[in-house]
Amino acid sequence: MSTAADDATGRPEPEVVVLDDADALAGHVAGLLLAQVAASLDERPAPAPVHVVLTGGRVGGKTLEAVAAAAADGEAAGLDWGRVHLWFGDERFLPSGDDERNDVLAEGALLTAPALHGARWHRFPAPVDGAGSPADQAGQAAARYAADLSAAADDLGEGGTTGTAGVPAFDVLMLGVGPDGHVASLFPGSSTLGERGVPVVVETDAPKPPPLRLSLGVDAVRAAARVWLVVAGDDKAQAVARGLDPAEDAARTPAVLARGRLATTWLVDRAAASRLTGASAEG
């Protein structure tokens, strides 16, 4: 279901899809993702790449498990995964292999499917012991990830529509949403929300541990063709209602900034949808 026209930036209004529970949601999003990857691969000639941004978080992990289950055999196993670039929306700036890192979560889920080993993984760099202060290292890591993004960026030409130089036109960018309305590691009230046009930002004081994090910047998120906000649980109901309120302040609920160029879809379970009213509440 869709709400009417474009927002002030000319982007389509968000759509809302409601599933029964977190498991149904994860299965549904996995199916959508595999269908979109297949469609994007089909619509451009090989070896043109397809760019997907992964999310961490609880339902993000469940979704990736469902993707791997579907990609373990059947049609999805036969996709040309070597053309598929997997990026991360954010990362906790923790040592490589740390269980709290989003890339560890994603690898644990996706690499159970042999086909996914062929995908092009783009992990955020990790801190290294003795290589400088964590904040300095995070700045360097952000610059390295920005360079990685830039190397993969499509040239959309003058007046290109991503709005952020040096960021690929992501086919799909998935985001979890925190109970406080954060997306990726863009937190309420953070100065990172004002860093427009910056591909990768460093959050030094995240209210959710760990405090030091790397994130795609607001305009890198908005470079995506399709943004999917995947949310489950009644602790997220207020964030979902605020995120879909056109009058909501982005400084309080950064999720309102997460708008795709072609589509923005909130994929939520019934519990997360429980505070929606009127048209937004329909499944």
Ligand X SMILES: O=C1O[C@H](COP(=O)(O)O)[C@@H](O)[C@H](O)[C@H]1O
Q: Which residues bind ligand X (CB under 6 A)?
A: 55-60, 89-90, 102, 175-176, 178, 184-185, 208
Closest CA to 273 of 4, 14, 12, 8: 14
Min separation Cβ 94 and ligand X, Å:
11
Scan for tokens 């995964």, then name that residue. Answer: 81
Minimal distance in Å, beta carbon 42 to ligand X?
A: 29
Compute the distance between CA of residue 172 and CA of residue 37 in angstroms, rounded to an integer: 8
Looking up tokens 């309305």 gives: 181
| Contact present, 152 and 50 (Cβ < 8 Å) | no
Which strands form 15-19's sheet, in the order they lie side by side? 15-19, 263-269, 226-231, 172-175, 50-54, 84-88, 120-121
Task: Report the nearest approach of ligand X to the CB of residue 209 (Å).
Answer: 9
Task: Fill in the amino acid letter for 236.
Answer: K
Longest Cα–Cα distance of the chain, Å, equals 55
> CA 28 to CA 33: how far, in whole Å?
9
Shortest reach from residue 240's CB to ligand X, in Å = 12
Closest to ligand X by CB, 120 vs 208, is 208
Q: Which is nearer to ligand X, 17 or 184 (CB)?
A: 184
Closer CB to ligand X, residue 14 or residue 178? 178
Cβ 53 to ligand X shortest distance, Å: 10
CB nearer to ligand X: pick between 185 and 253 = 185
Nearest distance in Å: CB 75, ligand X:
28
Torsion angle (degrees, nearest 10) of CA 58, 63, 69, 74: -170
Q: DSSP secondary-structure letter at 122?
A: -
